[in-house]
Amino acid sequence: MIRVEWWKGRTPQQKSELSKKITDAFTQIAGVPSQEVQIIYQDVDKRNWAIGGKMCAPISFGGQ
């Protein structure tokens, strides 16, 4: 099981392409059949993500 958490906004085409490349790399390196590789995409809004103690999207507090 491979979980990809990233900011929302990626296209189905991007997810499909990444799925193929992740699966190819995982089967080659880990030696498991491709049908056993599962990928879950978690699209997260930037308002729900922080890096280094700072929110990735501007936030407002009650209209301030």
User: Could you give the percent of the chain with pLDDT greater than 70?
Assistant: 95
How confident is the model over 22-50, as pLDDT tens digits?
Answer: 999 999 999 999 999 999 999 999 999 99
Q: Go through the domains of the chain in sequence order and give each one's CATH number.
A: 2-55 (3.30.429.10)
Asked if 43 contacts 7 with a C-beta cutoff of 8 angstroms, the reply is yes
DSSP 8-state symbol, 61: S
**Cα–Cα distance list, 42 to 7, 29, 62, 63, 64 (Å):** 8, 24, 28, 29, 31
Residue 61, pLDDT above cutoff 80: no
Which residue blocks in 1-64 are alpha helix, DSSP H?
Answer: 12-30
Place of tokens 């590789």: 37
